């Protein structure tokens, strides 16, 4: 039986802004028992993201930053598929599946506050759909253009519904100059259907620079007019954001590098199916198909 496509994108049509068909908070997300207060949940539902500052101590952030640096050194020049480099400069851009290659990051994925917040928002047990570090080196860190993660995960990975949440942990200062993570408040309420058709093995290029699954300028202008822009945040801050929240970052031409770590939790009730592009699924280090619920014992 064919799964109906509730969020058609890259099907050869024009760019279009569609209404969201899924709730933002799932199950009994408003009930007591999770780490997020009712006010925090309401803010997440309204804006599509929630910024939590000082979640980690300076020592904890330093340890995560050191692990990120060591991981970078271990994998530099390795040619492993989970390592993505900048086109042209060869600088390390991203490393995927970090919760599988690093014990500290595996423990972080099971951190009670992060894991329980994801369970609270999604109303179910969760697994890690994707994990990565985005390095944005001084002077040469390139942009991550505006996108909804869900659009890519839906089209290229077969994620059926908007029932996933991303957690971003700032390892270095994100300031207004060095290419901070930017989010568009309220953009999660709409689905930006994108034009064109997805090329085969699109991920081999898109992880360096995305050309398909990119919202039309008029749609981005409309979303920013409605919601504005918000940058985040200081080292140790955590941003929880809905899988469909529009976000991106500009290039870094400053002397100040910035690095953000991402963990994506997907509901076990929202497992991946065949990609809606009709192509083969992306590799497991980009989109896990191990739907085993994550425990909090790590």
* pLDDT single digits (tens) 224-277: 999 998 887 788 889 999 999 999 988 888 999 888 999 999 999 999 999 999
CATH fold of 51-267 reads Jelly Rolls (2.60.120)
Is the pLDDT assigned to residue 171 strictly greater than 70?
yes
Better-scored residue on pLDDT, 145 or 271: 271
Helices marked H in 102-234: 103-109, 112-122, 149-152, 203-206, 217-227
pLDDT number for residue 208 = 55
pLDDT digits (tens, 9 = 90+) for 282-297: 999 999 999 999 986 5
Q: pLDDT (tens digit, 9 = 90+) per residue, 26-74?
A: 987 555 568 999 999 999 999 999 999 888 988 999 999 999 999 998 9
- 215 has pLDDT over 50: yes
Mean pLDDT over the full length of the chain: 89
Question: Percent of the chain at pLDDT above 90?
Answer: 63
Q: What is the C-alpha radius of gyration for the chain, rounded to an integer number of angstroms?
A: 18
The pLDDT score that the predictor gives to residue 76 is 85
């Amino acid at each position: 039986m064919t799964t109906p496509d509730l969020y058609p994108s890259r099907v050869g049509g024009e760019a279009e802004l569609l209404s969201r068909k899924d709730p933002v908070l799932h199950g009994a997300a408003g009930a007591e028992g999770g780490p997020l207060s009712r006010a925090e949940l309401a803010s997440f539902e309204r804006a599509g993201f929630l910024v939590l500052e000082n979640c980690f101590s300076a020592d904890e952030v330093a340890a995560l930053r050191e692990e990120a640096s060591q991981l970078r050194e271990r994998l530099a020049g390795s040619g492993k598929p989970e390592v993505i480099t900048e086109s042209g400069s060869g600088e390390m851009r991203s490393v995927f599946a970090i919760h599988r290659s690093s014990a500290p990051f595996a423990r972080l994925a099971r951190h009670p506050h992060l894991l329980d917040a994801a369970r609270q928002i999604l109303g179910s047990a969760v697994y890690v759909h994707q994990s990565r570090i985005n390095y944005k080196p001084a002077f040469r860190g390139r942009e991550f253009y505006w996108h909804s993660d869900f659009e890519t995960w839906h089209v290229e990975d077969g994620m059926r519904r908007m029932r996933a949440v991303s957690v971003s942990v700032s390892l270095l200062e994100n300031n207004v100059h060095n290419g901070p993570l930017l989010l568009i408040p309220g953009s999660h309420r709409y689905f930006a259907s994108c034009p064109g058709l997805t090329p085969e093995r699109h991920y081999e290029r898109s992880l360096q620079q995305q050309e398909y699954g990119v919202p039309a300028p008029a749609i981005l202008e409309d979303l920013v007019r409605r919601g504005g822009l918000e940058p985040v945040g200081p080292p140790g801050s955590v941003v929880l954001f809905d899988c469909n929240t529009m976000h991106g970052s500009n290039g870094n031409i400053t002397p100040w590098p910035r690095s953000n770590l991402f963990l994506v939790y997907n509901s076990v009730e929202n497992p991946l199916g065949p990609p809606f592009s009709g192509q083969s699924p992306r590799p497991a280090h980009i989109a896990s198909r191990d739907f085993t619920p994550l425990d909090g014992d790590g």
